[in-house]
Amino acid sequence: MRTARDIDRKKVADLLARERARFCEERPRSRAIAGAADAHLLFGVPLHWMRDWPTPFSLFVESARAAEVVDVDGHRYADFCLGDTGAMFGHSPAAVAEAVARQAARGLTAMLPSADAPRVAEELARRFGLPRWQWAMSASDANRFALRWARATTGRDHLLVFNGCYHGTVDEAFVDLVDGVPRARTSLLGQAHDPARFTRVVEFNDLAALDAALADRQVACLMAEPAMTNIGMVLPEPGFWDEAAALCRRHGTLLVLDETHTLSSGPGGYAREHGLAPDMLVLGKPVAGGVPCAVYGMSADLARRAERAKRDKPEGHSGIGTTLSGNALAMAAMRATLESVATPEAYRHMFRLAKRLENGLADAIAEAGFGWCVTRIGARVEFQFVSRAPRNGSEAAAGFDDELEALAHLFLLNRGFMITPFHNMLLVCPDTREEVVDGLIAVFAQWLGALS
């Protein structure tokens, strides 16, 4: 079985140069816009990491509908990135577009709830099994607020995360395990205080380390994705979560599950699918069909404690909430998403095609003689340059190969397929078609062939 190390690196460099040249040649309009954009956009893009795609310059998007993105040069891409989950239910689903248009004419934001709010919260409670909900604008914010509530209700300062996690721009979660010690992520910009001061880090799937980290009863919450999705994909081992949740309960630590990505597991997320009972649950990105919006839910017991914590504080800034959170537009979009788009039928279609994609990629890898693994969480598929499914963040990180990854992405992009940058994630939406999945598998096999 061949590994990434057996690949001729000269060949990879040559292929990369060829794919880069092709990308440039075929995209004169994107290139012209990118050139002009440098004048007034820092880094030439609205957000600096949009330049971290493996393309020589940024693609500029003309439109995106259903499972397809069209760039300003008229190239059509079958989209398996789907806005890194923001468009997990397809681009501009009809029901969401209609709800947004309707609400846009009736007021966008008023610092007061619309009548949609209790109906949406009722549906969230039904789906996710937690009775009380609050709103935020992004999953990053929702996680920040969840952490504040955890600290406020437990009276504890510490946070526990898994090594290699990503929960958005939450300062305290940017901590890695370096030689067994929590250390601030070295890539952080403008970090004055040490985020590792109140953060503990253990490896995923390590119950003994988790037990030890919680034992002094200083940890307010364990914040975790039920399956790691941001360092490649890492699945929990059988029984891990039952025991991890029991350890949290035993040590008085709240369990906060960030289901921003693992909402790909089913209409009620991973926790509902697998019978987990978190104290808090965070959802962002696709919950309003791509309109900025996030929510977090609480158990009845925690909600009571949160109300008490708020009552016991003087009136004033709580550090929780932003002005546009829970605005009428996002609420209307979220109602449409939950009622009409993220339906059990939509998930059934996504699962069937994601399974087809998983099998197709795995077969192509095996046929090309590579020993790489393919992992799936519902509608989300990831291929990783490791021979055994990683058990934790460190093992997953060991499989990173920036050059190979860049080549895979560019090769696919030049042939009409877009996958998620910064790792090898492919997402299937309700509009993805079987023949497009098969087309992607064929081009992926062609890429593997080019490496041989």
Residues that bind ligand PMP (CB under 6 A): 84, 138-140, 143, 166-168, 225, 230, 258, 260-261, 284-285
Pick between residue 265 and residue 414 the one whose CB is nearest to ligand PMP.
265
Identify how many contiguous H helices and E strands the chain contains and give both numbers.
Answer: 14, 16
Q: Which residue is nearest to ligand PMP (CB)?
A: 168
Rounded-to-integer distance, Cα 125 and Cα 138, Å: 20
- What is residue 339's DSSP assignment? I
Of 251, 184, 244, 170, the closest CA to residue 218 belongs to 251
Nearest distance, CB of residue 225 and ligand PMP, angstroms: 5
Rg (CA), the chain: 22
Q: Which is nearer to ligand PMP, 168 or 393 (CB)?
A: 168
Exposure b/e, 112-140, CB count within 10 A at least 16 = b: eebebbeebbebbeebbbbbbbbbbbbbb
**Cβ closest to ligand PMP, residue 7 vs residue 175:** 175
What are 441's two structure tokens? 């598998």
The answer to whether the CB of 79 falls within 8 A of the CB of 87 is: yes
Judged by DSSP in three states, 350 sits in helix
**Residue (12 or 224) nearer to ligand PMP, CB:** 224
**What does DSSP assign to residue 106?**
T
Q: Cβ 285 to ligand PMP, closest distance in Å? A: 5
Q: Are strands 373-377 and 380-384 parallel, antiparallel or unpaired?
A: antiparallel
Least distance to ligand PMP, CB of residue 15, Å:
29
- Choice between 260 and 327, CB closer to ligand PMP: 260
Q: Is 51 exposed, middle or buried (0-12, 13-18, 19+ CB in 10 A)?
A: middle
Smallest distance from ligand PMP to CB 294, Å: 7
Our CB check for ligand PMP shows the closer of 228 and 364 to be 228
Residue showing tokens 């998620």 = 420
Q: Which is nearer to ligand PMP, 34 or 256 (CB)?
A: 256
The one-letter code for the residue type at 102 is R
Tell me the closest approach of the beta carbon of residue 81 to ligand PMP, in angstroms.
12
Tally the C-alpha atoms within 13 A of residue 292's C-alpha that lie toward its C-beta.
12
Shortest CB 136 distance to ligand PMP, Å? 9
Q: CA–CA separation, 365 vs 348, rounded Å?
A: 26
Helix, strand, or coil (residue 203): coil
Q: Show the tokens assigned to 9.
A: 């690196």
Beta carbon of residue 142, minimum distance to ligand PMP (angstroms, whole number) = 8
CB of 226 to ligand PMP, least distance (A): 10
Is 139 or 177 the residue whose CB approaches ligand PMP more closely?
139
